[in-house]
Amino acid sequence: MQTILCAVDESTGAAEAVAVAAGLSKGLGLRLVLAHVTAGYRRTSGIDTGAVQERDSGRRLLDQVAREHSLESAADCRAEAGDRVSELSRIAGEEAAVLIVVGSRGRSRRGRGRLSRLSTDLRSTAPCPVLIVPPRPRR
Q: Which residue in 137, 133, 139 sits closest to 7, CA to CA? A: 133
- Tell me the pLDDT tens digit for each residue of 78-124: 999 889 999 999 999 999 999 999 998 765 554 444 456 777 788 88
- Sequence letter at residue 134: P
pLDDT tens-digit readout, 30-42:
999 999 998 765 5
Distances (CA, A) of 2 to 15, 88, 104, 106: 22, 16, 24, 30
Beta bridge partners of 36: 79
Cβ neighbors of 3 (< 8 A, separation 6 or more) are 30, 31, 32, 33, 95, 96, 97, 98
- The domains of the chain are located at 3-133
Cβ burial of 2 (10 Å; 0-12, 13-18, 19+) is middle
Highest-confidence segment of 2-11, 54-63, 101-110: 2-11
* CATH class for the region spanning 3-133: alpha beta
The answer to whether the pTM exceeds 0.85 is no
Give the SS3 label for residue 43: coil
